């Protein structure tokens, strides 16, 4: 399956998790995956549920479904394997004042840029590390996010605040290829996931905010603040790179959207509403 995942262009982390999950299934059942029956698979998943979180078990299920759908062509098993329910919680979110305090606590231009990319564009931590100078279009003020989760490429606009930070950072650091290069001891050409996590953690400590904040928290904050400031839900789906609108709908629980009525569509049709 590893070769299939590589050709399909799935993210390296996803491919690694899928291969590990499939290997674990075969080792624990003692049979090749393509020889397993529906009942054997369900028994395996039921046993593993006692030891794995819902999120981890869901990764195993996704790996099995990918294998049986794309590799083994056993669509009967794809249908028969249920996805475990997992709680949908965003965790701590930061309001506008807390975000100003948090972003203001960045100790360097490099740290500031990482945090503004996470919150200003709603990026995933891994996407920050893959950004290259060539991904930016200065004339259009857009950045192209490539090889993101699900293989979705998206083009994101960025505003004046982030543009100023990018300009200051570029004049100071003069990056050649990757926007934020990895450190000398890192195996990553761009900043690693651990590097992004470190910047977020140390900035949180400096801000003295009593909240749990990780890189993905800032992505959640982007989504909620985007909606609170009048953003469109379908456009938010595009900006975040969600394959399904149902994933984006989660943010409606946390947004404080002001609802307003408009005249009846009948009035628009008859040109009686002038706006």
Instruction: Kindly report the pTM of this predicted structure.
Output: 0.72
State the pLDDT at residue 87: 57
State the pLDDT at residue 247: 86
DSSP labels, 196-212: HHHHHHHHHHHHT--S-
Burial of 75 (0-12, 13-18, 19+ CB in 10 A): exposed
Give the C-alpha separation, 134 to 215, whole Å. Answer: 24
| Secondary structure element (H or E) that encloses residue 168, with its range | helix 160-173
Q: 103-121 in b/e burial notation, b at 16+ Cβ within 10 A? A: bebbeeebbbbbbbbbbbb
Render each residue's pLDDT in the chain as its tens digit; 275 residues: 777 777 677 777 788 888 999 999 999 999 998 898 889 988 988 998 888 887 788 888 888 888 888 888 888 877 777 777 655 667 789 999 999 999 999 999 999 999 999 999 999 999 999 999 999 999 999 999 987 776 788 999 999 999 999 999 999 999 999 999 987 766 678 999 999 999 999 999 999 999 999 999 999 999 999 999 989 999 999 999 998 888 899 898 888 877 677 777 777 677 655 55
**222: closest CA among 102, 109, 117?**
117
- What is the token pair recorded at 248? 């984006």
State the pLDDT at residue 165: 96
State the pLDDT at residue 115: 97
**215: closest CA among 84, 121, 79?**
121
* CATH fourth-level superfamily of 97-253: Intergrase catalytic core (1.10.443.10)
Are 184 and 174 within 8 A, CB to CB?
no
Domain 2-80 in CATH 1.10.150:
yes
**92: closest CA among 207, 259, 238, 262?**
207
For the chain, the domains span 2-80, 97-253
Instruction: Tell me if 2-80 shares its fold with 97-253.
Output: no
């Amino acid at each position: 399956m590893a070769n299939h995942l590589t050709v399909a262009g799935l993210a390296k982390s996803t491919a690694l998790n899928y291969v590990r999950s499939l290997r674990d299934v075969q080792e624990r059942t003692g049979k090749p995956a393509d020889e397993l029956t529906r009942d054997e698979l369900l028994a395996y998943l039921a046993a593993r549920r006692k030891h794995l979180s819902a999120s981890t078990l869901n990764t195993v299920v996704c790996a099995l479904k990918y294998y049986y759908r794309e590799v083994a062509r056993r669509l009967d098993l794809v249908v028969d394997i249920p996805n475990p329910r997992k709680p949908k919680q965003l965790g701590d979110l930061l309001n506008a004042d807390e975000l100003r305090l948090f972003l203001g606590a960045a100790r360097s231009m490099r740290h500031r840029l990482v945090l503004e990319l996470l919150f200003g564009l709603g990026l995933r931590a891994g996407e920050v590390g893959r950004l290259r100078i060539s991904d930016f279009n200065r004339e259009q003020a857009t950045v192209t996010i490539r090889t993101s989760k699900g293989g979705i490429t998206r083009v994101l606009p960025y505003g004046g605040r982030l543009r100023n930070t990018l300009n200051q950072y570029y004049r100071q650091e003069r990056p050649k290829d990757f926007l934020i290069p990895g450190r000398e001891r890192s195996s990553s050409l761009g900043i690693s996931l651990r590097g992004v996590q470190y910047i977020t953690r140390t900035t949180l400590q400096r801000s003295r905010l009593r909240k749990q904040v990780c890189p993905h928290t800032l992505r959640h904050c982007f989504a909620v603040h985007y909606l609170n400031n009048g953003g469109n839900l379908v456009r938010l789906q595009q900006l975040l790179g969600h394959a399904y609108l149902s994933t984006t709908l989660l943010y409606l629980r946390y947004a404080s959207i002001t609802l307003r009525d408009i005249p009846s569509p009948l009035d628009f049709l008859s040109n009686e509403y002038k706006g």
